[in-house]
Amino acid sequence: MTPGIRLSQVDAILGRGFLIVLLLSLAGSALTYGTGNAMLHRIAGLLLFEEEGNLPTLFNFALLAANMAALGMVALFAFGGRSRWRWHWLFLSGFFLLMTYDEAAQVHERLNGVMARVVEADGYLGFAWVVPALALVVVLGVAFSRFLLALPRRSAGLFLLAGAIFVGGAVGVEMLGADHWTRHGWDNAAYSLLATLEESLEMTGLMVLLHATLGVLAGPGGVLRFAIRGGPPDLREPDGAA
């Protein structure tokens, strides 16, 4: 049996990492739009939430990958224990695998051109990919309603909270940013702050979800422990522990 890792320790590490990334992005915005210096603008691009392929992107990628791994571990235990919800856990892990890939490849942005042929890509729908995203949220909400009801109340509440925060940023604030972008463009402080808010909500939602999923693995004690066993772990309920 290895020494335990408390969920509060994981939360503290992620919280500090998020705070560092957020403060650096805000400092980058101040340098970019407060000085007008081209060299500082290029350097700040490594820190800004609205840019891609930089430090915030790497942090978000790590959060998505961590959620994918944690959900996959629960799915593994669920299959070992023949839990009735094992396919739900596996689907969630696979879904986050796709989201992790999307974070690296920005596939969802390619939907803008496709959806622009279906809806008027202007104003709040300036980033038209939010239309299929909202439809997907509704479908997943219906499909996973019984799964959520079967979870312990605290776990279900955290899953719902994580989803609400993430969708509020990824879709809700994204629509506000799209309206601002169509009216005023993207190279300004206001759009930078909206993008920072959007990404901050996404990261917060992912951290809440990771806490909830690790809580399922840890059980009531809130401590993750790893042990080598002769047989597969027993997971009779979705809130069982390794």
The string of DSSP codes covering 35-46 is: H--HHHHHHHTT
List the domain range (segments joined by +) for residue 183: 56-222
User: How many angstroms separate the CA atoms of 50 and 109, rounded?
Assistant: 13
Query: Does residue 240 sit within a domain?
Result: no
Residue 59's beta-bridge partner residues?
none
Residue 6's beta-bridge partner residues?
223
Q: In this predicted model, which residue has the larger pLDDT, 25 or 224?
A: 25
Query: Does residue 10 sit within a domain?
Result: no
pLDDT recorded at residue 139: 96
Query: Does residue 119 sit within a domain?
Result: yes
Helices 189-218 and 153-167, interaxial angle, to 10°?
160
pLDDT recorded at residue 228: 57
The pTM for the full model equals 0.88
Query: Does residue 48 sit within a domain?
Result: no
Average pLDDT over residues 30-39: 80
Tokens of 79: 């299959």
The domain total for the chain is 1
Query: Does residue 82 sit within a domain?
Result: yes
> How would you classify the pairing of strands 5-6 and 223-224?
antiparallel
Tokens of 72: 């996959």
Tokens of 212: 């909830």
Average pLDDT, the chain: 88
Average pLDDT over residues 23-41: 84
Query: Does residue 37 sit within a domain?
Result: no
User: How many angstroms separate the CA atoms of 47 and 176, rounded?
Assistant: 22
pLDDT recorded at residue 226: 72
Query: Does residue 237 sit within a domain?
Result: no
Query: Does residue 43 sit within a domain?
Result: no
| Residues 150, 238 contacting (CB under 8 angstroms) | yes
- Residue 18 pLDDT grade (very low, low, confident, very high; cuts 50, 70, 90): very high
pLDDT recorded at residue 242: 41
pLDDT one-digit tens code per residue, 154-210: 999 999 999 999 999 999 999 999 999 999 988 888 999 999 999 999 999 999 999
pLDDT recorded at residue 237: 52
Q: In this predicted model, which residue has the larger pLDDT, 233 or 73?
A: 73
Instruction: Say yes or no to pLDDT of 113 above 90.
Output: no
